[in-house]
Amino acid sequence: MTNSNSDGQDGSWIHQITEVTRDGVYLMQQELHLARQETVEKLKPVLGSTGLIAGGGIMAAVGSTYLMQAIVQLLATWMPLWLASLLAGLGFTLGGVALVRTGSQQLKELDVVPQKTINSLREDKEWLVAQIKSRLT
């Protein structure tokens, strides 16, 4: 009879641990889902800024070819051809650098760390520890 009481207590203890474990696994699945959603929301602006940088680079490369030619020809009517090319090239280079800096600054200002999920995981840890303590006592 003592074995059956002991088995009953062990079975109850195992059942309690199983429940806490199941709840913990479910909680972790929900947290992963939340982290995924929060990360996607935070990455949307990153994609936009990256698009600005790429689009600006492509547009600057294509457009600058034709503008450079026109500017050099215009400046060459008042100065030597080499100086006209130098000034036009410098202007376009500085414009490209400005676009890259703007996009880079936007990326630096973004916070992509899923803070809500981190805070929620801390709370979940506290809950799980409390559950285990309460069921083991």
Q: Is the pLDDT of residue 131 over 80?
A: no
C-alpha angle 44/49/54, rounded to 5°?
125
**Please, are residues 65 and 53 in contact by the beta-carbon 8 Å criterion?**
no
Q: CA-to-CA distance for 90 and 72, rounded, in angstroms?
A: 12
The predicted structure's pLDDT at residue 3: 44
pLDDT digits (tens, 9 = 90+) for 37-89: 887 887 787 788 888 888 888 887 888 788 788 888 998 999 998 898 888 88
- Six token digits for residue 22: 């199941």
Output Rg (C-alpha) for the chain, integer angstroms. Answer: 32
Residues 6 or more apart whose Cβ sits within 8 Å of residue 112:
39, 42, 43, 46
This prediction's pTM: 0.41
Distance CA 127, CA 27 (A): 10
Q: Is the pLDDT of residue 5 over 60?
A: no
